[in-house]
Chains A and B, each alone.
Chain A
Amino acid sequence: MTQRERNWLLLAPAAAWFFVMLILPLSFVFVFSFGERGDAGGYVPAFTFEQYANLPARFAAFKNTLILAPLGTLAAMLIAYPLAYQLAVRTDPKWRLILLVLVIVPFWTSILIRSYAWLFILGGQGIPRLLDFIGIEDVRLIYTPFAVLIGIIYGYLPLMVFPIYVALDRLDKRLLEASADLGARPMTTFFRVTLPMSIPGMATGCMLVFILLMGEFLIPALLGGGKVFFVGNALVDLFLQSRNWAFGSAVAMMLIVVMLVTVTVYMRLIARLNTQRDDDVALM
């Protein structure tokens, strides 16, 4: 066997997986999106742009997703960063592992069960009731965008904490000493060394969370109560309830396009951030 043949052989499983799990279904969706809905639901072959013309009917779902997914990602990052920082930089290595495990423990139970917990906490018997108790009346939390946001942050936090933790853990602590040695106060050291050096971790975390959020449907279904729905909910609805596969496929294609565009823009932004030179000594 030549080296070349061996390389192909090693690639084969991944290529097969890629084809069966991605290319093939995607091709179906692509073809379906130009078809029509059968009388009893499902799909009838055709070639029409009708489904795409119909997309504005799901505008609200796209709007919700494109507002709450980035917002949720950002909020998760703002909460995850100090947590990861505390774990990686401040915590005694003895305790680190235990605390890290505590961060993933919630993953051991189903997101469904965990979201139900929030349903209770944010529902009439939860926080609003406590607020009522101290005189703040008629607060509605459940089935609002806020509830969905809380659910998102809660569910995706560990996914954000880990890449940032890894970046901060790998950060050579001598760089922090070097910064202090050169006269930088702790705050300056953080903004000029720690933060820039952890950008790759933050970027990875945001990417992971954002992409997964774009397809999220469980949290909006439970905590949004049908009022705050994502594209994911629209898809579930179209494929499983109204059995309009053709329109569902068009929505799915649109979601993919939106995702490709946002992720590309995002990657460009990060790349520029990483190579950006310090303003102070620019062009030296």
Chain B
Amino acid sequence: MMQEKVPGGTQEAEGDASMPVAELRSVSKSFGSVLAARDLNLSIRQGEFLSFLGPSGCGKTTALRMLAGFETPTEGEVRIAGEVVNDLPSFRRPVNMVFQSYALFPHLTVAQNIAYGLQQQRPRPTREEVSAKVSEALETVRLAGFEGRRIWEMSGGQQQRVALARAIVNRPRLLLLDEPLAALDRKLRKEMQIELQDLQRSLGITFVLVTHDQEEALSLSDRICVMRGGRIVQIGSPRELYDEPASKYVADFVGTSNFFEGSIASKDGEQAVLKLADGQTMAGTCAPGLSVGDKACVSLRPEQIALENAASDGAHPVTVLNRIFLGEHTEYLVSSETLGNVIVLAPRQAERAGTSYNKGDKAWITWREDAARILLSEQ
């Protein structure tokens, strides 16, 4: 064997921060006639918190399972640390998964569950090393002292933590989480979301989370990968997805939005004008890939619409139909003769300033033109 010391380091993946932890390249997966994943392209960055978001059945779990090694892609390449791993069985991948229903071993204690992965390492760690790491992992998930417990003696939330500890104790390159919080009640879910985020930051492990809960994805992720019908429809930071959705589907799935349907009448660079069915026009920022004549819609976020008590230039007269108090905000459902029903979110300050409306009141809605986004309306 030739031994040559290369100055400036080798091409080792470990230290190279720019090398993606994992990649999907033109990955497709079909189960018989069902195309569960179609042409997925994704590069997962070192240390990020990435979420797969989409409705049930859109292929999120399938994508995750291909990274874990439980499914082999029908087409394309899965890479981990730069190497193609399509045929690498899951037990050889530096990846760990937190299963949707935890999949804890019922015949083992909490400590034995957590030790399981460590015991598979070669060279085999000593009993003391395993013991110490298990205790440390249990402390991390705030379950110190539960070592000897049986799985069935633990609550759902505690089982969730054990599942997490069992995965992170192995310090995987990539931690995959398949709807880990779906089975928890709302309050516990909020708590665990915060803990997950803290954990990810303190451990520096790359997290890939699957969820159908947009709120969860928005609050936890550095980047979100929105999926639909087996395809990735948009990848971006929560802010990008919210402010610059690429399609009506994304705008609708990520947050709430008002949509006004029509077709593009004119376009000038990023700016375009949409002609609604009744002939009126609305201007806005146009998503890429649209051209004059396309069926499109204007998307307006409820908080970007202002409710005013006096007419101004370009304001639409409306009647207040409903008012829901949401704490920091008040949600109004208003009806416009030309635009139909519109949801408006007014901040609390507006109410304090004395501009509050009741059912039946007349008012006007306005918005800044750059808040309106023109998107492909194919639903």
Contact = CB atoms under 8 A, between A and B. Distances in A.
A284 B101 contact: no
Interface residues of A, number: 24
Contacts of B116: 179, 182, 184, 192
Contacts of B367: none
Interface string A153-185: 000000000000000000010110111111111
A52 B96 CA distance: 66
A196 B108 CA distance: 10
B103 A281 contact: no
A172 B111 CA distance: 20
Interface in B171-193: none
A253 B103 CA distance: 49
B90 A181 contact: yes
A284 B111 contact: yes
A68 B60 CA distance: 56
Contacts, number: 85
A-B residue pairs, 7 tightest by C-beta: A183-B120, A182-B117, A284-B111, A178-B103, A174-B103, A180-B90, A180-B91
Given A180-B90, A183-B170, A197 B101 contact: no
Interface of A: 172, 174-175, 177-186, 188, 192-193, 196-197, 277-278, 280-281, 283-284
A177 B167 CA distance: 13
Contact of A181 (B68, B104, B109, B147): B68
Interface string B147-165: 1100000000000000000
Secondary structure at the B interface, as helix, strand, loop or mixed, is mixed
Contacts of A192: 116
B111 A181 contact: no
A174 B103 CA distance: 6
A178 B170 CA distance: 13
17 contacts: A174-B101, A175-B103, A177-B68, A177-B90, A179-B105, A180-B89, A180-B90, A181-B90, A181-B96, A184-B116, A184-B120, A185-B91, A277-B112, A280-B112, A280-B115, A281-B127, A281-B130
A174 B102 CA distance: 9
B10 interface: no
A177 B117 contact: no
Contact of A281 (B115, B117, B166): B115
